[in-house]
Structure 1
Amino acid sequence: MPRYEFKEGSSNKFWEISLTGTSFTTRWGRIGTDGQEKTQSFSDTATAKKEYDKLVREKEKKGYELVGDGEGGDDEGDGEAGESASNPELEAAIFSNPENADAYLVYGDWLQRQGDPRGELIALQHAALQASGDEAINLKKQIAKHLKSFKDSLLGDLADAEDEEELKVEWHLGFIKSARVGQKDYDSDRNVAELVKELLAHPSARFLRGLTIGMAHFDDENDYSDVIEGLTEGLSEMGGSKTLQDLFIGDFEYPDDTEISWSHLHDISGLYKLLPNLRTLRLRGGSLELGTVNLPELRELTIETGGLPLSAVKSIAAATWPKLEKLEVWFGQDNYGGEGGVEDIQPLLDGKGLPNLKSLGLCNTEFTDDLCKVLPKAKLLAQLERLDLSKGIMSDEGARILAESAAAFAHLKHIDFTENTLTDEGERLVSKLCPSVSAGNQREFEEDYRYSAVGE
């Protein structure tokens, strides 16, 4: 039972409240006594919860502060790690619709009755979502205090990684909504693969929606093979994730943390069947293998590499993306493993398996001028709203070809030509292809030595 206390002057009072279905029980009195108890019943759970929240807010406005779960513990003492309560039926309701706040509230009521601090956190965070002004500020403070007081229970063995800033989490309605894991610096000896597995298995990450993986190894080339293996194993042990929608592998700064081609992603195809509801996938690094792509719910795919192998190029071209809306691919340099050309992405240009694509990025290529020759007649162009040809080796000749077919691009909302090798004349030629064109920040043109912007 959540316990609140008020200590000011001669006042030394407590107040407790416990919500159960369509009723709640309150107990109050002077600290050190048993106090008085009262139970109130309502017509439905929604009304009971509304009145419950109202009473809690009234007490908080009067200066009562949450101190524990009603069993006599204090702020720090109740934070010891323990087994998390679990109710498969109530969890199933959230899995079926992670956006349904009511499902969290019902689960939160049950968790509170089990003495699980996630229950009170759900109530506090839900109230904060509805509040404004001073009430919102007060609730934010209470949430921060609750997270600190029950840190061990809420994070367990993960607390150490958070303290060392190698795990960062965002809480939403009592659970971790998104997380970032990765080594902090060259002094780190954190096993990121094991940390990923621990996170996925943790009760607080039961409804994880977003996962970002930063540096896996500072002390050598940044190889993600063990991390992807750990991610695959962790997801397999939980039967796949029904809630994970956003995945980013390779959240590092290049060249400050490591070079993009010194990071190796390897084969990620084993993740597909374990992430049936994945909406966005972002991959940064080299040595990428995609295999046969099957991500029916994916909306956005971004691949940033200094050299994309031909096998990965063909995987992208052969994939069927029924709901994909944005595709951005960095092809890279031949010196760093970049392979393929226009003929290898022709299925993309023909729009095969891309009925909903609106934004296309064919970036960091060494065949940009060749793209300029085929884009005006590409079947896919008519359905696009945005086109990104940045970071390539586009010359004034490519700009001239596009300008001669300007009508084919007039419907686009935006085109990006930045970081190519255009002169002022080339920039002028493409500047009016559509209402919004980015053509600045060009690199120097050298006829015999041209390369895409990002390689090593």
Structure 2
Amino acid sequence: MERYERGDQFIEFEQVLSMLRLRAGKIGTPGKEDRRFHPSSEASIQAEMELRTRLLREGYRRVTGAGGELLLGAEPPGPASPRALLLDARGDAVLREPVPEPAPRPKDLASEVLGDALGDAVRAGDLAGLEWEGRMLRAVSVVYDGSGLVDPLEFDTLAALLQSGGRKGLRRLEVSVMTEASEFAHVLQPFLEHGVPSSLRHLVLCTFDNIEGFLATRADVTALLPALRDLERLELQAGQVTFDRVDLPELRDFQLRTAGLGRDTLRTLSAARWPALDRLTLWFGSPRHGGDCRVEDLAAVLDGEHFPRLRHLRLMNATFTDELCEALVSSRLLPRLRSVDLSLGLMTDEGARTLARHAAALGHLQKLSLVNNALTHEGEALLAATSLPVELSGPGHHGRNDSVEHFVPLSQGDGYMYLFQPGDAP
């Protein structure tokens, strides 16, 4: 496990298969442990590398688990391939690892195509994940990872990008905010002032790695939605997300991940017409954070009238998953679905019995994900005995959940963090 320290704070982490385990807190205390799960081992390794880079940029120093500080040095030039040395406090080499590759060409290309200011933003990590097609920028992530309240001036990077030649041909844009901002209006303002690139097809907005920021943020995207009619994929993530009207005729994939999904927002979403929607993801969250939805509020979704092409349905992080199982197995939408995801909720063995009893109605599914619910081993065994393509937590699951608040979405992909205090049973 690697350990980094800054002032009186420490962070330790290690990568285990697709999981990144972290422990952070005040030096001299056990700290709080988080577990971040990613879609694959490769994604977890990439997240570990990005975390390491971020910590060093924020002034953390890498130390060993018990004490001695590690210093990064360079091996004298020679015929062998360049290596980096990690030295302990006495100057003895304790680890050798490859020297990072020189800055990749996209950073140079960014300065050339986007201008020096945005080129500097790439080097600082405020613009990341650049993908190019020749000299045309196709994908980019705008990252804000400051501390404290967001200053509107900090969003000059997004405004500059939307005014640069980089907007021409841009197809994927992710705005990732990792601060404790309680408002997201500053993020929307550059879009409202400078417009959404006409070529944009995939927008990821309001995504947080900072847990407190995620829970506190309120994002009203009503003013922005009319400019997104050409999008094919939209991901919105915040403690609460609200909008008054939805008209996105080209959208194929809609993901709404919240700490608490409000009933009014769900009703607005259910009343919209989604002629092309193939995938729908909803995180319902906790009543303590505004999640006042009930299973009856999903009636219009499960009826399927407004979702003629919906094939993949993910109703996640719900406190009412048992009732949802009952509504799902008798819904008009179910025969058209290819996959269902009810993960990270509070499904008990009662929900498992409902699904097992209606296995014939679910038999056409290619995937049924029930990962990290409140099932006992008996409930999991009951489902495993069916012929359903069920995905369960397996022997390493976290145990019986008593709250959906254990789960916080990551800012990239389908990953999530599982939160628990030291001493909690894993």
**Whose radius of gyration is greater, 1 or 2?**
1
DSSP 3-state at the match of 1:379: coil
Task: Give the corresponding residue for 1:175.
Answer: 136
Gaps of 5+ in 1: 1-140
Q: How does 1:28-427 map to 2 (within 5 A)?
A: 148=108, 151-152=111-112, 154-168=114-128, 169-186=130-147, 191-215=153-177, 218=179, 220-221=180-181, 223-235=183-195, 240-255=196-211, 258-264=212-218, 266-427=219-380
Per-residue Cα deviation, 1:331-387 (whole angstroms, up to 9, x for no partner)? 001011101111111011000211111100111011111111121111100000000
DSSP 3-state at the match of 1:329: strand
Of structures 1 and 2, the one scoring higher in RCO (CA 8 A, sep 6+) is 2
DSSP 3-state at the match of 2:285: coil
Per-residue Cα deviation, 1:173-220 (whole angstroms, up to 9, x for no partner)? 31211111122444997944322121111013212111101116x3x3
Asked if the contact 2:246/2:269 (under 8 Å) is kept, the reply is yes
CA displacement at 1:320 relative to structure 2: 1.0
DSSP 3-state at the match of 1:375: helix
Asked if the contact 2:108/2:119 (under 8 Å) is kept, the reply is no
DSSP 3-state at the match of 2:313: strand
CA–CA distance in structure 1, aligned partners of residues 244 and 216 of structure 2 = 21
CA displacement at 1:149 relative to structure 2: 7.5
Asked if the contact 2:349/2:378 (under 8 Å) is kept, the reply is yes
Aligned-partner residue type, residue 318 of structure 1 = A
CA–CA distance in structure 1, aligned partners of residues 324 and 204 of structure 2 = 28
Task: Give the corresponding residue for 1:47.
Answer: none
DSSP 3-state at the match of 1:179: strand
Matched residues, number: 304
Gaps of 5+ in 2: 1-100, 409-418, 420-426
Which structure shows the bigger proportion of residues in strand conformation? 2
Aligned-partner residue type, residue 205 of structure 1 = R
Asked if the contact 1:421/1:443 (under 8 Å) is kept, the reply is no
CA–CA distance in structure 2, aligned partners of residues 406 and 383 of structure 1 = 15
Which 10-residue stretch deviates more, 144-153 or 178-187? Answer: 144-153
Per-residue Cα deviation, 1:102-151 (whole angstroms, up to 9, x for no partner)? xxxxxxxxxxxxxxxxxxxxxxxxxxxxxxxxxxxxxxx9x966963782
Aligned-partner residue type, residue 274 of structure 1 = A
CA displacement at 1:269 relative to structure 2: 2.2
Per-residue Cα deviation, 1:220-241 (whole angstroms, up to 9, x for no partner)? 3353221112222221xxxx43
CA–CA distance in structure 2, aligned partners of residues 149 and 349 of structure 1 = 48
Q: Aligned-pair RMSD on alpha carbons?
A: 2.7
Task: Give the corresponding residue for 1:39.
Answer: none
CA–CA distance in structure 1, aligned partners of residues 198 and 249 of structure 2 = 13
CA displacement at 1:299 relative to structure 2: 0.5
CA–CA distance in structure 2, aligned partners of residues 271 and 202 of structure 1 = 20
CA–CA distance in structure 2, aligned partners of residues 286 and 279 of structure 1 = 24
CA–CA distance in structure 1, aligned partners of residues 280 and 334 of structure 2 = 13
Which structure shows the bigger proportion of residues in helix conformation? 1
Asked if the contact 2:295/2:323 (under 8 Å) is kept, the reply is yes
CA spacing shift, 1:395–1:146, aligned 2, 3 Å: closer
Aligned-partner residue type, residue 178 of structure 1 = A
User: Given the two structures, how large is their TM-score scaled by the length of structure 2?
Assistant: 0.66
Per-residue Cα deviation, 1:9-40 (whole angstroms, up to 9, x for no partner)? xxxxxxxxxxxxxxxxxxxxxxxxxxxxxxxx
CA displacement at 1:435 relative to structure 2: 4.6
Aligned-partner residue type, residue 166 of structure 1 = D
CA displacement at 1:440 relative to structure 2: 1.3
User: Given the two structures, how large is their TM-score scaled by the length of structure 1?
Assistant: 0.62
Asked if the contact 1:178/1:210 (under 8 Å) is kept, the reply is yes
CA spacing shift, 1:401–1:198, aligned 2, 3 Å: same
Aligned-partner residue type, residue 253 of structure 1 = D
Asked if the contact 1:246/1:279 (under 8 Å) is kept, the reply is yes
DSSP 3-state at the match of 2:186: helix
DSSP 3-state at the match of 2:115: helix
CA displacement at 1:270 relative to structure 2: 2.0
CA spacing shift, 1:366–1:147, aligned 2, 3 Å: closer
CA spacing shift, 1:432–1:319, aligned 2, 3 Å: farther
